[in-house]
Amino acid sequence: AVVSAEVGCGSLEERLLFSTDTATEPAEYSWMGILFQLSGANAENTRCSVIIVDATHVLTPASCVRRFNGNAELAAVRLGTWNETHPLDEEYICNTRGFCVPGPVQHRVAEIKIHPQADKDTGDNDLAILRLSKPIKWSAYVSPICLQAASEPSSWISHNLHFGGFDHSSYLKGKGLAMAVSRQYCTQLSGSSTPPPENQFCGYPIKRTRFYEGAGVLALNIEQDVPRNFYLAALLVKVINNKQTTVYIFQDLRPLRRWILDNTN
């Protein structure tokens, strides 16, 4: 992604890879935002995350945007959000200890493009691109994820994947780890009668937090034995709670990456 290269995409600090915190630092995972539905002067949180891929495009699951019936003017995204309670139009928001973060910025959506093979019945290829009405202003708190992998594994199975976004149990932008498990074991864990569809895979999270759909699942680009940046491996599209177990269903982006690149930038 040309724009991403200029600002640096997928920014990471190696020390944070090993943090056990469930909340991010304010500038961590700076590509994550939240999808809102507009109604007059009101904006309702859809409980879906969005992911910045360049200055005018974000990704989200197709299942998150069907509510708009193609009416892009009803959709907006909030970027640079760290705490969901923070109001818009505040340059900085500070707590009682003098710790300050920039306020979130809202962008209207100009176009919604759903993947042509998005399958409502199976849930496969659950991906949409939202084109924003104005370019994003980059900062340490708002920057894109990388889309290109230096090299990519043929399978995610047994990879421990970082993911981040927003969740139902905290106002702060969160993060976690999930182990990618086989389709057979996934069916067993989830209690489902069918495995995930062809282009999706299963993650077994360390903690059972229910993240918003659209959380970004991340993999690492390694250069000269150093982790250089994150690239987007998948999107969280479904959370299944089965008795004492939580299973995440991830939309694999490997088969969809060409479509994303052709329809962004």
Question: pLDDT tens digits, residue range 62-91?
Answer: 999 999 999 999 999 999 999 999 999 889
Domains along the sequence of the chain with CATH: 160-254 (2.40.10.10)
- The pLDDT of residue 6 is above 60: no
| Beta bridge mates, 218 | 162, 232
Residue-level pLDDT at 265: 77
Question: pLDDT tens digits, residue range 187-230?
Answer: 999 999 889 999 999 999 999 999 999 999 999 999 999 999 99
Task: Give the three-state DSSP class for 93.
Answer: strand
Closest CA to 215 of 191, 239, 192, 182: 239
pLDDT band at 247 (very low <50, low <70, confident <90, very high): very high
pLDDT band at 7 (very low <50, low <70, confident <90, very high): low
pTM value? 0.94
Stretch (H or E) spanning 84: none
Question: pLDDT tens digits, residue range 116-175?
Answer: 999 999 999 999 999 999 999 999 999 999 999 998 999 999 999 999 999 999 999 999
d(Cα 218, Cα 234) in Å, to the nearest integer?
7
Residue-level pLDDT at 19: 87
Residue-level pLDDT at 3: 40
Higher pLDDT, 243 or 49: 49
